[in-house]
Amino acid sequence: MSSARDQTEVLVVLSRLTAQSRWREFDAIISIESLANPESLEVTDVHPRDRLVLRFEDVDFDLADQNKPKILDVQTALEFARNVTGSLLVHCEAGISRSTAVAIAIAADRLGPGEEGAAVGAIVDQVKGAMPNLLVLQYADMLLGRDGKLVDAWRTVEQRQPDVAHARRRKHLRRLMGRGST
């Protein structure tokens, strides 16, 4: 097992815009794209085995939205990351929700059981305004057999930072009112 600090040195979360200028610094890339926004990270000279593209919306509650993250998305990301030797870039549009959740799942997988708080902390320390997608975290909890500890570790962060919890509630309201998400 490696430390949480080691994970943040090889596991980096960025927005699509920042990733556009920095992707060459990494050995592998996980791109999380929106079906509603067709813009994607334009990369060249990357072998297909070194890039995974997932497509789902930033929906972190389980409604009948067909574009929500699926457990297979999280499983695919975990399996991809297990085969990465070197640095891994995980990005979505804003680099705040979908990518942070996937990165937390990967960090938790790498750090092992009992290190859920360290996994959350490693990514949250790296990403200002992190608000990981709860559905992705729930799926990671199930896939990694963590019995809700990964979601609980995030909830602890939200309890210490009421502004983050408030931002999530605003995001949910916008989504329910049909105004999209952050």
**Residue 60 neighbours by CB under 8 Å, 6+ apart:** 69, 97, 101, 133, 134, 135, 136, 168
Q: Look up the CATH number of the domain holding residue 12.
A: 3.90.190.10
pLDDT tens sequence for the chain (182 residues): 555 555 546 899 999 889 888 988 999 999 998 887 766 666 666 665 698 999 998 887 766 666 889 999 999 999 999 999 899 999 998 999 999 999 999 999 999 999 999 999 999 999 988 999 999 999 999 999 999 999 999 999 988 887 776 676 676 556 555 654 44
Residue 51 CA to residue 31 CA, distance in Å, equals 7
Measuring CA to CA, how many Å separate 153 from each of 45, 117, 139, 175? 38, 5, 14, 25
Residue 172 CA to residue 182 CA, distance in Å, equals 10
Tokens 């297979």 identify what position?
72
What is the tally of structural domains in the chain? 1
Query: Is 49 within a domain?
Result: yes
Query: Is 97 within a domain?
Result: yes
Query: Is 95 within a domain?
Result: yes
Query: Is 92 within a domain?
Result: yes
Q: Tell me, what's the pLDDT at 125? A: 92
Tokens 């980096």 identify what position?
12
Query: Is 182 within a domain?
Result: no
Query: Is 155 within a domain?
Result: yes
Query: Is 181 within a domain?
Result: no
Q: Tell me, what's the pLDDT at 66? A: 65
Q: Tell me, what's the pLDDT at 20? A: 87
Query: Is 63 within a domain?
Result: yes
Q: Tell me, what's the pLDDT at 182? A: 41
Range(s) of the domain holding residue 111: 4-176
Q: Tell me, what's the pLDDT at 161? A: 80
